[in-house]
Amino acid sequence: MELLYEGKAKKIFKTENPEEVICQFKDSLTAFNGEKKEEEEGKGSLNCQITSIIFQALEKEGIPTHFLKELSPTQLLVKRVEIIPIEVVVRNIVAGSLARRLGLPEGEKLPFPIVEFYYKNDDLNDPLINDDHALILGLVENREELEQLREYGKKVNRFLIHFFDKIGLTLVDFKIEFGKDKEGKIILADEITPDSCRLWDKKTGKKMDKDLFRFNLGNIKEAYQEVLNRLKEGQ
C-alpha cells in the first residue's frame, strides 16, 4: 500500500478508490507534543476498535463521520477528507491545561461545557486560538464554518456524556478533528479514543486515558482494554 501520511498515532494509506483511504492505528504513545515517546504493543488495535464502535454510534445519532468499515483490528476504511487544521476541544470538568491556565482546581465541574479551538501545528505546539485567529490564518473559509465546528463539538459532547455514563465512565474532556469530503461537507474525522479523551471511572475516579502514560500513573494497555470491554458489553 502507498503511504500518504504518517502522524504520531496513525498511518494513512492509498486505496484503489480515490475517495477512500485506509487508516492504520499505530502502537506509538506520545505526550507533551512528542517529547515523551514509547511503544505499547496492542495499543493501536485497542484504539482502532474503540474508534470503530464510537463512530458507528455517532453515525446512528446523525453525526456524519469519515468511518466506512473496520478492515482489521488495526485498520479502518474511511472517506478521504481534507483535514481542517483545527483541534476542537470540549471540556466538561477542569483538568489538564485548563487548570494550569485559569488556576481552577482539577476535578471541578464546569457550569457549562467549554469549546476551545487549537491550531493544529506541531512547530507551534498547537496553540489555543480564537475565531479571529482562525480566519486570519485561513484555517476555515468563514465564521459559519467555525460555528459549525463549535456546534458539532457540542453535539458530540452531549451524546458522549451519556454514552460513557452508561458504561461507568465520566467524560472529562476530549479533542476531535474534522475534515471536508469531496462535496466540501464538514464531517467528523480522525479518532475518538482514550488517547483523545479524558475518562474517569465513575466509582473510583481512576483515570482510564492517556494521562496514565503522561504522568506514569499505571498500565495504559489494561485501562484501554477495560474501556473497550465496557463498550462491547454496552452495545
What is the pLDDT at residue 1?
84
Closest CA to 176 of 228, 111, 100, 117: 117
CATH class held by domain 3-79: alpha beta
- CA–CA separation, 63 vs 110, rounded Å? 25
Convert the pLDDT of each residue in 144-196 to its tens digit: 999 999 999 999 999 999 999 999 999 999 999 999 999 999 999 999 999 99
The mean predicted confidence, pLDDT, of the chain is: 96
Residue 34 pLDDT > 80: no
Structure confidence at residue 15 (pLDDT): 97
Cα–Cα distance list, 112 to 58, 109, 198 (Å): 22, 8, 17
The predicted-structure confidence for 204-225, as pLDDT tens digits, reads as follows 999 999 999 999 999 999 999 9
Q: 234 pLDDT exceeds 80? A: yes
What φ, ψ does residue 207 adopt, rounded to 5°? -75, 135
Assess whether pLDDT exceeds 80 at residue 139. yes
The arithmetic mean of pLDDT across residues 130-141, rounded, is: 98
Distance, CA of 48 to CA of 32 (rounded, Å) = 22
pLDDT tens digits, one per residue of 4-28:
999 999 999 999 999 999 999 999 9
C-alpha cell at 221: 494497555
pLDDT (0 to 100) of residue 229? 98
Model pTM score: 0.96
At 32, is the pLDDT very low, low, confident or very high (cuts 50, 70, 90)? confident
Q: How many residues does the chain have?
A: 235
Q: Does the pLDDT at position 42 exceed 90? A: yes
Please say whether the beta carbons of 78 and 66 come within 8 A. yes
Provide, rounded to the nearest whole percent, the portion of the chain with pLDDT above 70.
100
Across 63-67, 177-181, 231-235, least confident range: 231-235
Where does 44-184 show beta strands of DSSP type E?
Answer: 67-72, 75-79, 82-83, 86-93, 109-119, 128-129, 169-180
**What is the maximum span of the chain, computed from C-alpha positions, in angstroms?**
51
**Displacement of CA 157 from its chain's centroid (Å):** 12
Domain boundaries 82-219, corresponding CATH code: 3.30.470.20
Domain ranges within the chain, ordered by starting residue: 3-79, 82-219
- Residue 235 confidence (pLDDT): 81
Residue 82 pLDDT: 97
